[in-house]
A and B are shown apart, each in its own frame.
Chain A
Amino acid sequence: MKKELITLNINGDDIEIAVHPWRTLNEVLRDQLHLTGTKLGCGTGDCGACTVLLDDQSVSSCLTLAIEAEGHKITTIEGLAPEAATENDLENLTLDPIQESFIAKGAIQCGFCTPGMIMSGKFLLDHTPNPNEAEIRAGLSGNLCRCTGYNKIVDAIADAAEKISPTK
């Protein structure tokens, strides 16, 4: 079967690319565009490491066909703090509050689940600005982590929620 020429809007940029119709969004992001912040942990939609936003929905990029993503705004971890892509001074750059909270709260160990966790956290806080702990845990239940035991990730999401939408 022939490749199709599609235009994907990724982190605000329109990118024209030829893809096989069976190619997943994850394959196109990683293998064709080398946007490798989005990880592949299982390929079966179980681990959440490949989570990206499609408009305002979070999806597993390993289960989403690239051609389905045409016409939607795709946000990957690289697009969360857009300056990070062009500004090299990471130390002094202000990232998305969720990223800052992950760093400060010790929510990152090996870091492989981190991009997916942060994108799921972003989706959660976009829709539930002041989640309680149970809502945070439910919101992260599609993302597996083997290092942290999740507690510091939950703390980080709560911390970010308070920064974005203060309750006090």
Chain B
Amino acid sequence: MSTDHNFSVVGKSLPRSDARIKAVGAAQYADDMFLPGMLHGKLLRSPVAHALIKSIDTSAAEALPGVKCVITGQDIPKIKYGNWRLVPESQDEYALAIDKVRFIGDEVAAVAAIDKDSAEEAIRLIKVEYEELPGAYSVEESLADKAPVIHDEYEQTTPNISLDRKIEYGDLDKVFAEADLVLDDVFTVHATSHAYMEPCSCLSEYDHDGRLTIWTSTQTPYFVQCLLASTMEMRENDIRVIKPFVGGGFGGKMEMRPWEFCSAFMARKLGRPVKFTLTREEELATGRRRHPMRIHSKVAFSKEGMLLGKEFNVHLDGGAYNSMGPTACFLCGNFGAMLYNYPNYRYYGAHVYTNKPPAGAMRGFGAPQALFVAETQMNVAAEKLGLDPVDIRLMNAMESGDEIPGVATISSCGFKESLIKVAEMTNWREKRKNLKPGQGLGLGCYSFISGGVFNWFNTRYNFTRAEVRAFEDGTVHLMTMASDIGQGCDTVLRQILAEELGLKVSDIRLTAADTAVTPQADLGTWGSRVTLMAGNAVRKAAQEIKEELFKMVSLKFDLNVIHDLRCGDGKIYPANRPDRAVSFGDAVKMAQRANRGEPIIGYGSYTPRNKGLVTPAFSFGAQVAECEVDKETGAVEVKFMTTAHDCGTPINPMSVEGQLEGSVHMGLGYALSEQFIMKEGKTLTTTFLDYKIPCAEDMPPGVSVHIDTYEADGPFGAKEAGEGLVSPTAPAIADAVYAATGYRCMDLPLTPQKVLASMKKV
């Protein structure tokens, strides 16, 4: 925490406000809810990767006792949806397939029945006649001559490229001609699963007043509200989305999904509540995933180690629909030029359709892929130029005030300090010289965004808004659509509000993420936007309350206008006369009386304006992995992880640590053990036995330290924490494996088979 700021609630490691209810098992997630008359829904998914639907016969399913409703694409409005409302032609999905299926798992029909067994049996009774089409299962196959066109219903400049993005500044051709060192490499990175522990679930109810209420496991209630309204042909105000407790998301729950539509549609049709809960097999076999990419990166250095420029060509394997691919395509280009100053840069990113489950948003959102490449090339360049990997980074590192042409200006930045710190903590220079055979030490770094600026959802509201109501008993009620999915914003926003108003966290009642009662709108939980954006809105709302109350306190003590007033310990007092204090509740009572009964309510909004194209604030950090490689088995064991990170002011240090440790977990899985094995569009790794997320015994010991910065654009100096750190782990481990074995991984994941194969070649 910055020493200039003397906080009383911010910066404290308070237990999560929802920890007790979760510890006793009383927290209700969507699947824990039951309503009278509730029906159970089930989806029929395509067993083929690419086919025309010739006919669907639902008669046997409808005849099954207990089945109340069967719907197919023919029964629903023919309205496409997608998160990129700003570019309507990018909205390429129907809730249920119409005429054509494009991946194994594409939703074809839905059933609602009196119990799960009947719903499952009914699904098996639906007869679908498919006319199979050739499929394309990789970027190469999709872009080959005569490749099957996956979306032939709308025109693409290049078939199967749904959209592309270019960035260019400087004169790269000159740079490549004159540089002392040019690295020219092709990398491939793989798909991974969010593997949130709570499978997706939702429950819809349609009431006598014509309102649809849906409780759903989502990160973005507002997106669900808007997209349900458009696809159901209802008014937004007739749809109420409530986020119950959510068991993790990591980007995988930030779209409207077919089961949400089907549950809402059938609840409206039947007048009975309908619940859908996915199985883990559905999640792993058909769910959203991290984008696999093919990345061609050409980067130029001077012999002294100065970065001269980079050409970054990325093909994203998007699967069958756009999903959040456009954003990944956009951000990958930005992350390709982050961390260091690239005076010349050219990016081309293309989002390619394939007949596979769609890739979507996932923690890091383009950064883990881009930075695996960028950080690996920094390590290669350091070796080729005879420089220490720390030194070559320090030479080129971004600093506060640096500009990325046309994109952003770096505000707070603790990158160099992070690098110096991890080198010091690990005794980097000495230890690298004294490695035993099979031992390795590797470095990776990251930067990440604190929420996005680009309005791809095309919201007509502020990006976030808070309402705070103050009461005579000295408590306040915070209302926000910010969505806690386990990352802890319910606690953090309470801390920010308590700090601003001088109250205790227990004085704050919170109502969150219910579109009918919390202020329109908040774009939800993604891109590490909540602490900075919702936090700023909460502070502004609190400041409105304070201004009202300060008027009363000033009047009561007949204060000179120049007096500075403060909130603290549940009181309001002149800064120089803390003895003359009015309790917060009494000040509310006075203000309310003076306003002839009008309640004391403060509002605050936040929308990033004049903050460039990407984000108001970047986080930074560095990480060192110490590894041992077993030369018999090729197994990589991470012995220790050392991290230095710059998240501005940590509002709740214990929560930040927990997020960082979770990032290391996901980064470790990304690097070493997690992958989807696919065969012609079919996902074969459909259980947690096959899809290997690290367990408690797999986690290495480690330490992380906080680098002290203060972000002027963030609430009490805070910015992103715990998402960006998913990026450096893979390049750090890969670099350590290179030091241990001579194998330079450019093709994730780094499996024992690859290590062994390389050693036999050596």
CB distance from A42 to the nearest CB of B (A): 4
Whether the pair A111, B662 counts as a contact (CB closer than 8 A) is: no
Whether the pair B21, A103 counts as a contact (CB closer than 8 A) is: no
Whether the pair A144, B18 counts as a contact (CB closer than 8 A) is: no
CB distance from A91 to the nearest CB of B (A): 7
Whether the pair B688, A47 counts as a contact (CB closer than 8 A) is: yes
Whether the pair B25, A42 counts as a contact (CB closer than 8 A) is: no
Whether the pair B198, A34 counts as a contact (CB closer than 8 A) is: no
Whether the pair B655, A110 counts as a contact (CB closer than 8 A) is: no
- Our pick among A84, A100, A108, A149 for the contact of B664 (Cβ within 8 Å) is A149
A149 to B696, CA, bound (A): 7
B401 at the interface (CB under 8 A from A): no
Residues A58-109 near B (CB distance < 8 A): 76-78, 80-81, 84, 90-91, 95, 99-100, 102-104, 106, 108-109
Whether the pair A46, B687 counts as a contact (CB closer than 8 A) is: yes
Residues of B with C-beta under 8 A to A104: 15
Residues B682-717 near A (CB distance < 8 A): 687-689, 693, 695-697, 699
A158 at the interface (CB under 8 A from B): no
Name the residue on A nearest B689 (C-beta).
A46
Whether the pair B198, A108 counts as a contact (CB closer than 8 A) is: no
A106-B655, A141-B697, A144-B197 as given contacts; A99 in contact with B661, CB under 8 Å = no
Name the residue on B nearest A34 (C-beta).
B34
Residues of B with C-beta under 8 A to A154: 696
A130 at the interface (CB under 8 A from B): no
Name the residue on A nearest B193 (C-beta).
A146
B762 at the interface (CB under 8 A from A): no
A144-B695, A148-B662, A154-B696 as given contacts; A99 in contact with B24, CB under 8 Å = yes
- Our pick among B32, B34, B658, B688 for the contact of A152 (Cβ within 8 Å) is B658
A37 at the interface (CB under 8 A from B): yes
Residues A8-26 near B (CB distance < 8 A): none
CB distance from B494 to the nearest CB of A (A): 14
Residues of B with C-beta under 8 A to A34: 34
Whether the pair A150, B699 counts as a contact (CB closer than 8 A) is: yes
Of B16, B485, B661, which is in contact with the most chain A CB atoms at under 10 Å from its CB?
Answer: B661
Of B15, B22, B34, B697, which is in contact with the most chain A CB atoms at under 10 Å from its CB?
Answer: B22
Whether the pair A112, B247 counts as a contact (CB closer than 8 A) is: yes
Whether the pair A77, B687 counts as a contact (CB closer than 8 A) is: no
Residues B646-660 near A (CB distance < 8 A): 654-655, 657-660
- Our pick among A42, A138, A141 for the contact of B688 (Cβ within 8 Å) is A42
CB distance from A153 to the nearest CB of B (A): 7
- Our pick among A106, A111, A113, A145 for the contact of B654 (Cβ within 8 Å) is A106
A41 at the interface (CB under 8 A from B): yes
B743 at the interface (CB under 8 A from A): no
A70 to B312, CA, bound (A): 63
Whether the pair B20, A152 counts as a contact (CB closer than 8 A) is: no
A118 to B663, CA, bound (A): 22
CB distance from B60 to the nearest CB of A (A): 22
Residues of A with C-beta under 8 A to B699: 137, 149-151
Bin the interface of chain A by size.
35 or more
CB distance from B223 to the nearest CB of A (A): 20
The A interface, classified by DSSP as helix, strand, loop or mixed, is loop
Residues of B with C-beta under 8 A to A150: 661, 665, 695-696, 699
- Our pick among B22, B26, B248, B696 for the contact of A146 (Cβ within 8 Å) is B248
Residues of B with C-beta under 8 A to A76: 25
Whether the pair A118, B23 counts as a contact (CB closer than 8 A) is: yes
A41-B198, A99-B24, A141-B695 as given contacts; A108 in contact with B19, CB under 8 Å = yes
CB distance from A43 to the nearest CB of B (A): 6
A160 to B205, CA, bound (A): 42
A29 to B495, CA, bound (A): 37
A122 at the interface (CB under 8 A from B): no
A81 to B245, CA, bound (A): 21
B196 at the interface (CB under 8 A from A): yes
Name the residue on A nearest B32 (C-beta).
A36
B-side interface residues toward A, CB under 8 Å? 13, 15-16, 18-29, 31-32, 34, 116, 194-199, 245-248, 250, 279-281, 485-488, 506, 654-655, 657-666, 687-689, 693, 695-697, 699
| 6 closest cross-chain pairs (CB), A and B | A37-B25, A110-B486, A112-B247, A111-B22, A149-B661, A77-B25
A-side interface residues toward B, CB under 8 Å? 30-31, 34, 36-44, 46-47, 49, 76-78, 80-81, 84, 90-91, 95, 99-100, 102-104, 106, 108-115, 118, 134, 136-138, 140-154
- Show 8 residue pairs from A and B whose CB-CB distance is below 8 angstroms, ordered by the A residue: A31-B116, A43-B279, A43-B281, A109-B16, A111-B27, A141-B697, A147-B658, A148-B661
Knowing that A36-B28, A44-B687, A138-B696 touch, tell me 14 more A-B residue pairs with CB under 8 angstroms.
Answer: A34-B34, A36-B31, A37-B24, A39-B198, A76-B25, A78-B25, A110-B197, A112-B198, A113-B247, A118-B23, A141-B696, A145-B696, A146-B248, A147-B248
